[in-house]
Structure 1
Amino acid sequence: MNLYNSKYHLQDISANTFLVTGGAGFIGSNLVQYLITHGAGHVKVLDNLSNGYYSNIEEYEGLGNFEFIKGDIRDLETCKAALAGVDYVSHQAALGSVPRSITDPITTNDVNISGFLNMLTAVKDTPSVKRMVYAASSSTYGDSKALPKVEGEEGKALSPYAVTKAVNEMYADVFSKVYGCHTIGLRYFNIFGPKQNPDNPYAAVIPIFCKSFIDGVQPVINGDGKTSRDFTFVANAVQANIKSMLFERLTGHEVFNVACGGQIDLNGVIDILKQITGKDISPIYRHERAGDVKHSLASIDKIRGAIGYECEYSFKQGLELVYEWYLSNNNQKVLS
């Protein structure tokens, strides 16, 4: 499945070198797919494969414009070496998941803050780099009850993961002001799509629900099912990354919401899956998880006005596509 036949950029990128950290992961590998599809001069992937899967990028090995570097962003020298000759950086390497951060806040901090600081430092010291775009998070809005979520109107963090993402934004802003290091933060709102692993112990809800329907088992919902999210198909996130990297008129540090500006609760997701699959499978309800935000809805006015981002795929379109992807890959070992 190639979602990236249409272009999100105007420039000729055949002479540019890109680094995608976490490029073997879910969003990172989709970015790599876009860049390879549209003739990027050279695409480097830096990944330690602790949370990503080599199978996501294996098809590009042997291409003259692709390079895989197995390494960890927690090592500064590895970051510096990977950035040699790079023009643009998409920093996707991170440890996601609120529950994981509650279980293991130390590792989440090491990767998401220390690793991020290493990348900022390496970018600062690499003259060829024009811009770094990094994965921020809607979790930064914390306990704010306001809907929709608007950049600049954040609440208090509700998890160690949210703390790390808020600190990333502060560091990026300081590096922009102190060193002139140009970065753009993308606050992802519940991204889902192909290459997202449903078997990871900290898997997101959409792949888990899809796998449940494929297997014919009842999906588990934490809470009453009225928890709502601005679920965002991965191609929309790729569009935001590409436009943020290559839009020349952006200056200084900026943070943008990346979402669809819509809202659906978990019960609604189940109802749409019933329509897509023709299977009448009802969920099992359990206790809500600690640290989870009850409702989330993004304003996308800022990113639309700044770089011309538009939500190309609606939630239902994305869910249909990703269910088809999981169904077609159900009997194959696609993530290993």
Structure 2
Amino acid sequence: MGYKDVKFPKESIFLVTGGAGFIGSNLCETILEKGHKVRCLDNLSTGKQKNVDLFIDNLNYTFINGDIRNLDTCLESTKDVDYVLHQAAWGSVPRSIEMPLFYEEVNIKGTLNMMEAARQNSVKKFVYASSSSVYGDEPNLPKQEGREGNVLSPYALTKRVDEEYAKLYTKLYGLDTYGLRYFNVFGKRQDPNGAYAAVLPKFITQLLNNEQPIINGDGKQSRDFTYIENVIEANLKACQASNEVAGEAFNIAYGGREYLIDIYQDLSQALGKTIQPIFGPERKGDIKHSNADITKAKEMIGYNPDWNFESGIKEAIGWYKENL
């Protein structure tokens, strides 16, 4: 179960792009704990220096302050690398609506640079972060690979284009690519600050600070919130997946469905708070309901998530209490 039984040759080298970010730093931590070498590539535009400082004294850890928009940087950082875990991207649906050209440059061109560098340097596996946002306006639940609608934001479009390029790189060049469609990931080191912060860390920190949170819309939207440990498992298992399933994209979630207003009430209860939220306008580009069918990931890459929402949120609350 989980990733504890996932083993790699001792001399394996991993490159984690976006390794100073929330998901990337958790991946770096786990791979280092397994005794392997990690290169972290990040330009610290959204990643945090403190997430680099956590590991800087580890002899198996190398930090490269560089940008995926620079092909030479990508080529240099992938030399002698066995596995690329490509997490570097700019997130946030609303921000992408304000900055479409920038998202094209980072999320599409940057990812293409990384795939090309991985191909030229004969990387064994290229695992990359996609997103549940690729499902767009497809109304059916649960979300199932192969049944996508029209995308609703530039961010979603960048992730869909990444998936198409990954398919081509597998088909044309033999690069083993595996796309992971993350569903609302949460957990330790997720940034609660800023206008585009994810909803769970924002709720938790606002409640801890006795602030009144804003819920966009009526709170009846639902999500398949996915604890970070499940995402780590998916990345490591994709590195061991058969090349017969290369070029595919997989839903990475728990397979649950939580309503935002229920979550808010549960968090309030867990933190002993009685603060009424403010209901604001719905966010442009948001998907109303999102939960995942994870059958394909189970069958093709052996993904078998241990952490449900309840166990994950308990850990997350504990972390924020200690680290705020």
Residues 47-94 of structure 1 show CA distances to partners (whole Å, capped at 9, x for unaligned) of 000010021131211222110000000000000000011000000000
Residue of structure 2 equivalent to 1:54: 49
The amino acid that maps onto 1:75 is N
**Offset, 1:306:** 1.5
Find the counterpart in structure 1 of residue 280 from structure 2. Answer: 286
Distance 1:63 1:250, change over 3 A: farther
Match of 1:334 in 2: none
* AA partner of residue 137 (structure 1): S
Q: Which residue of 2 aligns with 1:32?
A: 28
Aligned residues: 324
Q: Which residue pairs with 1:333 in the alignment?
A: none
SS of 2:263's partner is: helix
Deviations 1:163-190 (A, max 9, x none): 1000000000011111111100000000
Counterpart residue type for residue 306 of structure 1: M
Of the three residues 229, 240, 248, the one matched with 1:246 is: 240
- CA positional deviation for 1:10: 3.4
| Contact 1:46-1:68 at 8 Å conserved across structures | yes
Counterpart position of 2:315? 321
Show the counterpart of 2:148: 154
Aligned residue type for 2:196: Y
* 1:299-310 equivalent positions in 2, closer than 5 A: 299-310=293-304
* Higher mean C-alpha displacement, 182-191 vs 59-68: 59-68
2:220 corresponds to 1:226: yes
Q: Hey, what's the Cα distance between the residues in 2 that align with 1:250 and 1:50? A: 36
Deviations 1:277-297 (A, max 9, x none): 121222110110111010001
Superposed structure 1 runs of 4+ greater than 6 Å apart: none
User: Is the contact made by 2:134 and 2:148 (CA closer than 8 Å) also made in structure 1?
Assistant: yes
Does residue 110 of structure 1 match 2:105?
Answer: yes
Match of 1:262 in 2: 256
Q: 1:273 to 1:140 in 2, by over 3 A?
A: same
Aligned residues: percent identity?
48
Pair 1:20 & 2:36 matched? no
1:56 and 1:226, CA in 2 relative to 1: closer, same or farther beyond 3 A? same
SS in 2 for 1:27: helix
- Matched residue SS, 1:74: coil
Contact 1:9–1:243 (CA under 8 A) maintained in structure 2: no
User: Given the superposition, is the C-alpha separation of residues 270 and 19 from structure 1 closer, same or farther in structure 2, using an over 3 Å criterion?
Assistant: same
TM-score (norm: length of structure 2):
0.97
Deviation of 1:261 after TM superposition, in Å, equals 0.7
Summarize deviations over 1:130-188 as a string: whole Å, max 9, x none: 00100000000000001000000000000010110000000000111111111000000
Hey, what's the Cα distance between the residues in 1 that align with 2:236 and 2:54? 21
CA offsets 1:245-274 (integer angstroms, 9 cap, x no match): 123465431110000111111101112102
Residue number in structure 1 paired with 2:200: 206
- The one-letter amino acid of 1:36's match is L
**Residues of 1 paired with 2:240 and 2:170: CA distance?**
17
Q: Of residues 254, 257, 265 in structure 2, which corresponds to 1:271?
A: 265
1:81 aligns with 2:72: no
What does 1:135-214 correspond to in 2, within 5 Å? 135-214=129-208
In the alignment, what sits opposite 1:94? 89
- SS of equivalent to 1:165: helix
Q: Structure 2 counterpart of 1:328, which letter?
A: E
* Corresponding position of 1:3: none
The Cα RMSD (Å) is 1.4
- Name which of 6, 9, 12 aligns with 1:10: 6
Deviation at 1:215, TM superposition (A): 0.4
SS of corresponding position for 2:306: coil
AA in 2 matched with 1:199: N
CA distance in 2, matches of 1:315, 1:60: 28
Using structure 1 for the length normalisation, give the TM-score: 0.94
Question: 1:276 deviation in Å?
Answer: 1.3
Instruction: For residue 221 of structure 1, report the CA deviation from its aligned partner.
Output: 0.3
Amino acid in the other structure paired with 2:34? H
Amino acid at match of 1:11: K
Mapped to 2, the partners of 1:86 and 1:321 lie a distance apart of 33
Structure 1, unaligned runs of 5 or more: 1-5, 331-336
Please tell me whether the aligned partners of residues 231 and 315 of structure 1 are also in contact (alpha carbons under 8 angstroms): yes
